[in-house]
Amino acid sequence: MFEKQSMLSFKGVNDFLCFYEGLNIYGHWRITDQKTNDRGEKVRSASYMNLLRNKFNEKHLFRRQVSISELISFVDSFYLMTIIFDKLKTMISDDLFNSIEIFCEYRINLSKNKRVDLLLVHKQKVVLIEFRISNTFPNMSSIWQKKTLELIVYKELLSYYIGNTYSIYNYAFIGMPEYTGSKGRDLVPKHYDYNRNNANHLADFLKTYLFT
């Protein structure tokens, strides 16, 4: 039901993790505090960026070309999901873990191309997830409120045509850059820990609302 309107789709978490590993990102992916466009320019010609660009374009879901900033956001989200799934795997059985269907960049029907970052689906339950990176803690609350309001709108629009079939839940994941410095290689422990604590919270959310 969701695959046709998604940039990428996966039948299970293991498929998603294999896809992420297959991107062959050189070294360890780093979310840095540099501007997204500047981060993108450094890897614009990388094979995994071209692959994601082609995936975006070949579905013909959108009216414009994908930006370098969006491509970086895709990989940031995928990276964060690997952390979330690492935690979730310790909380549920292997069968349940790999029964989650994943849909990336899902376009909501008749919504003027409004897209949800990620849909996680298990049986008749759907979790909508929006990601955003914030460089500073004081911005966290306002950004979370903005993303939460967006999700409420997306949930309403989605409910028009799946509401009688699925239960829909929302989660706004606000991450932080884990590295700083001129080369983006200096770890920021406070931000690193924050992302993992947030990932643990989302994993617990998924366990609670997807499987109960």
Give per-residue pLDDT as tens, 67-84. Answer: 999 999 999 999 999 999
Report the pLDDT value the prediction gives residue 138, as an integer from 0 to 100.
60
Q: How confident is the model at residue 139 (pLDDT cuts 50, 70, 90)?
A: low
- When pLDDT is averaged across residues 89-103 and rounded to a whole number, the result is 96
Domain residues of the chain, as ranges?
A: 3-210
Please compute the mean of the pLDDT values over residues 152-166 and round it to a whole number: 94
Name the average pLDDT for the chain.
94
DSSP string, 38-51: HHHHHHTT-HHHHH
Torsion sign (Cα): 201, 205, 208, 211: negative
pLDDT at 135 over 90: no
> What CA–CA distance (Å, rounded) separates 3 from 13?
15
Cα distance between residue 103 and residue 137, in whole Å: 29
* DSSP element (H, E) containing 203: helix 189-210
CA 207/CA 87 separation, integer angstroms: 11
Taking the CA atoms of 85, 88, 90 and 94 in sequence, report the sign of the dihedral they define. negative
H helices, E strands: number in the chain: 7, 7
Confidence of residue 164 (pLDDT cuts 50, 70, 90): confident
d(C-alpha 18, C-alpha 40), whole Å? 23
Q: Token pair of 177, please?
A: 């850059």
Q: For 183, phi and psi rounded to 5 degrees?
A: -105, 5
Residue 142 has pLDDT above 80, yes or no: yes
**In a 10 Å sphere around its CB, with 0-12 CB exposed, 13-18 middle and 19+ buried, how is residue 83 labelled?**
middle
Q: Please count the residues of the chain.
A: 212
With 70 as the cut, is the pLDDT of residue 90 above it? yes
Task: Find residue 126's DSSP bridge partners.
Answer: 121, 168
